[in-house]
Amino acid sequence: MSSALETLRRDFGGGIIESGDTEYESASRSVLAPGSPAHVLRPRSVEDVQAAVRFAARTRLSLSVRGGGHGFPGFGTNDGGVVIDLSHLASVEIIDKERHLVRIGGGATWGRVAAALAPHGLAISSGDSNSVGVGGLTLAGGIGWKVRKHGLALDNVAAAELVTASGQVVQANTADNPELFWAIRGGGGNFGIVTAFDFVAHPTTEIFFGTIAFPASQAATVLQGWADYLRTAPDELTSTVAFANPFAGGPEAPVEIHVAFDGDDQQLAAQVIDPIRRLGTVTGDNIALKPYADTLADGTPPSPGIQFMIRNAFVVQESVPEVLQILADVRASERSPAITVRSVGGAVSRVPNHATAYAHRQAELMVMTTTAGPKPAVEAARPALAAIWERLAPHVSGAYANFLTSATEQDVAAIYPAKTYQRLTAVKRRYDPGNLFARNHNIRPQ
């Protein structure tokens, strides 16, 4: 046994899973990617995380940090390296009742958070699914059902505790290591392992939530009407449109407007939601009052062999009509990917641009395409997808890190405009000069 492994076994109180162990098969993979790491380490304490980081640094093996394991590029695993799987660091604790301050372990999932906060009438703006990790979603953004009212998940972070590449524990907040605090709100897992986040939660009631469906043939008018309405709608309304889903009819798939109205006043909700119902011929409407925790979906992991190709970009107000027209045209073709458009204005746009490393605050919408299937089908879809994005290119900009399957230099440049990247590089040099944390949309130390 190497001396690094001996030291690890001496200092580490968590689980060490290696090939041949009964748990290895499930522990080796992240939700969306297979892997064959040499060691999966499951720390139970901050000290364990320190020991695990020192082990990875000493061995120079490739390091994956796994939060909820839902990252699309499969950063949560690797071949032959070390995985630090944070799933045992999943506590959710209200630490200040008056300020609604909640401390959340770096390996918790959003379903666990929503369920723990519900009895206290609290919630945190997160994403749309139970099983997604607090770590990955928050460190890069966090666009969920309360985004227009309460901002991105990262806008609600008050402080974090990290283990950096040297194995030190540091605090990051507006007073301690403020530049690191800036960087971890948008810069992903580049700067260390977040062992705990302090979030400011928000009082929540039950919310009006569901889907209003329209015929595919009305896509162009429904999409434009939806975007125009959201521009002036109250922030309590967050909404997403999904259409052209190949598994629901492709060109004939209904246009589904998902609606979350953050409140339980029926009259007010109707007033705010009814203009959406008037956008076209409603073919389905299941809006109902629900506990916030029940709005989060239970994703089912994809069958083995199914691959995803996900791309996205942001749209500012002036380009909205053009982009929606292109998407409405594309939807009618047999080779269209599934298309989703999320509203990301409201509270997100009111945070100053330089306040966090998330750089796309002025966008009104985010457009995302999803191609899924066995590898040959996904490969065959590439040219059509490239053609769609070529048409969109003059009218869109940037990218949201959490909805990308790839991690090319082009992707990194789209996520981080040059000035943001430069500032992140300086933080990286200080906290991870050897680029130990590289399995992410990577900020290079130089």
> What residues make contact with ligand FAD under the rule CB under 6 A?
30, 65-72, 75-76, 86, 106, 127-129, 132-133, 135-137, 139, 141-144, 188-189, 193-194, 299, 402, 439-440
Kindly tell me which of 295 and 319 has the beta carbon lying closer to ligand FAD. 295
In angstroms, rounded to a whole number, what is the distance separating the alpha carbons of residues 404 and 419?
21
Kindly tell me which of 43 and 280 has the beta carbon lying closer to ligand FAD. 43
Q: How far is CA 436 from CA 22, 68, 160, 164, 440, in A?
A: 29, 20, 20, 9, 11
In angstroms, rounded to a whole number, what is the distance separating the alpha carbons of residues 412 and 420?
11
Angle at 208 between CA 134 and CA 292, to 5 degrees: 30
Kindly tell me which of 69 and 186 has the beta carbon lying closer to ligand FAD. 69
Kindly tell me which of 391 and 444 has the beta carbon lying closer to ligand FAD. 444
Nearest approach in angstroms of CB 13 to ligand FAD is: 18
Nearest approach in angstroms of CB 439 to ligand FAD is: 6
Pick from 143, 155, 208, 186: nearest CA to 364: 143
Nearest approach in angstroms of CB 210 to ligand FAD is: 16
The backbone region for 38, taken as left when phi is positive above 0, alpha when psi lies in -120 to 50, beta otherwise, is alpha
Kindly tell me which of 215 and 299 has the beta carbon lying closer to ligand FAD. 299
Kindly tell me which of 72 and 243 has the beta carbon lying closer to ligand FAD. 72
Task: Count CB-CB contacts under 10 A for residue 274.
Answer: 9
CB-based contact 204:144 (threshold 8 Å) = no
Q: How far is CA 30 from CA 22, 192, 205, in A?
A: 17, 19, 34
Q: How far is CA 283 from CA 112, 223, 277, 330, in A?
A: 34, 15, 10, 22
Nearest approach in angstroms of CB 332 to ligand FAD is: 27
In angstroms, rounded to a whole number, what is the distance separating the alpha carbons of residues 158 and 62?
31
431: helix, strand or coil: helix
Kindly tell me which of 142 and 263 has the beta carbon lying closer to ligand FAD. 142
In angstroms, rounded to a whole number, what is the distance separating the alpha carbons of residues 124 and 157?
10
* DSSP strand pairing (82-85 vs 63-66): parallel
Nearest approach in angstroms of CB 299 to ligand FAD is: 4
**φ/ψ (deg, to 5) at 335:** -95, 15
In angstroms, rounded to a whole number, what is the distance separating the alpha carbons of residues 348 and 364?
9
Nearest approach in angstroms of CB 32 to ligand FAD is: 6
Nearest approach in angstroms of CB 199 to ligand FAD is: 13
CB-based contact 368:335 (threshold 8 Å) = no
Task: Count CB-CB contacts under 10 A for residue 167.
Answer: 19
Nearest approach in angstroms of CB 278 to ligand FAD is: 27
Nearest approach in angstroms of CB 65 to ligand FAD is: 4
